[in-house]
Structure 1
Amino acid sequence: MQLDDILINEAQLGNQLSICVAENRRNDFSILLAMLSQNALDFSEFALPKSDPSELYAQDQNLRVALGAGVEQTLAPEHIDFLIGIRNAEIVQGDSLEQFKLMNYLTPEPLAIRNDVTHIRTEIIDNCELAVRKRVKNKDIQLSHSPMNAARFYEQLKSPEIHNNLVLQQA
């Protein structure tokens, strides 16, 4: 068995690995595996074909039209509407549940309330291990504290007014 190129992933081998297994050639099988790249990102499973994002969007729109699907549901709203629950309750009470479902199909609500990529929901943080929770909590606490002026604090400690009220007590 001779290879012309450097082996990076198993896709370059074709069916040679399965032939080695079928013919019980363990030495060739182990040599082929040893010659493959050690980096998991080089595996052929991760080498997906690249495509143009605008082409994917056009294909998605064509598929929606062909299937007769409704409007695409947005991930997050552009502006937060706090009255949406009140309007939904009025629709359900006044018209019917079917009318509410129809309106939701025609103009679906966004999947998330926030349009903030740095926000982590509390359910997710509560599901993390303790070290991660502490790190997230400390980051929030550090942001809420204002920095201390150390030079001014030291000057206040040196001033005689602060020491006048101190009385030493002996035990």
Structure 2
Amino acid sequence: MHAHRREEFSFLLAILSQDVLDFSQFHLPKADIENLFVDEDALRKQFGAGPKQPLAPDKFDMLIGQHNASLLVINGEHSGMSDIKLAHCLDPEPLTIRNDASYIPLNVLDNCELAVRRRIKGSETQLSYPQMDAAAFYDDINNADLHHPLYLASA
């Protein structure tokens, strides 16, 4: 600009591309990926992760976590918690106590609407009195022999 080369500078700006990918410094070498599928065990070994935590035990076990309570009582809260964390890292416990996909906890059912609870239960509650026969009721209304006009008695 100071050397009165304004035209050359304008020309250089004009030949520059708007796309950054046109410049060679942005063309990085690409490595070929040999195996697209990597299984979970290989990733656990590569990153040093612990064993997989199961979602539910194979059989119903109500005593999951019972050992943790005894560790807290014996070792105290501070050291007991560190023992529980270490034991969980080495051998993780299942997240739930039952392996039943159709089981819905009662506190979840209590929060559902009545119609949803009935549908889940599979049967609608029967009323204490029998259901009315609508066709017979309509026939009774139309039967003039059963109904007499209402006579008002004068006082």
TM-score by length of 1: 0.42
**Which fold has the larger relative contact order, with Cα–Cα distance below 8 Å and residues 6 or more apart in sequence?**
2
TM-score by length of 2: 0.46
Larger Rg over CA atoms: 2
Structure 1 or 2: more helix by fraction: 1
